[in-house]
């Protein structure tokens, strides 16, 4: 019985780590982005959005990369045990539209 109760508590804790995307929280509290990023990806069809639409939604990126492909990088917070940074990488095509995205731990 103890194992069942502990398992349920663990499941509740793990599920509570994910939060609904909120633009104001995203912009004002970058350390909470990691919990919202999956909701963001599900709620918005990011692929095909222009760079201006992305910036309007997410604010200025933490880093812009031009080579080898145009890329916006958003800091999501610490990953795992707090050793690496969790990053949302957005890759744009030559027309300035989002081609793909990925979450990395660097």
Q: What is the pLDDT of residues 36-74, one digit of tens each?
A: 999 999 999 999 999 999 999 999 999 999 988 899 999
Residues of the chain with pLDDT > 70: what percent?
A: 80
pTM: 0.78
Instruction: Read off the pLDDT band of 95 (50, 70, 90).
Output: very high
Could you state, in order of their start, the residue ranges of all structural domains in the chain?
A: 19-105
SS3 labels along the chain:
CHHHHHHHHHHHHHHCCCCCCCHHHHHHCHHHHHHHHHHHHHHCCCCCCEHHHHHHHHCCCCEEECCCCCEEEEEEEEECCCCEEEEEEEEECCCCEEEEEEEEEC
19-105: which CATH architecture? 2-Layer Sandwich (3.30)
């Amino acid at each position: 019985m103890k194992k069942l109760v502990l398992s349920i508590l663990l499941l509740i804790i793990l599920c509570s780590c994910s939060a609904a995307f909120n633009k104001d929280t995203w912009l004002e509290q970058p350390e909470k982005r990691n919990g919202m990023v999956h909701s963001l990806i599900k709620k918005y069809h990011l692929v095909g959005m222009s760079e201006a639409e992305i910036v309007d939604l997410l604010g200025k990126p933490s880093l812009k990369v031009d080579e080898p492909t145009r890329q916006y990088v958003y800091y999501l917070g610490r990953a795992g045990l707090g050793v690496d940074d969790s990053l949302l990488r957005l890759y744009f095509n030559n027309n300035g539209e989002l081609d793909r995205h990925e979450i990395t731990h660097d």
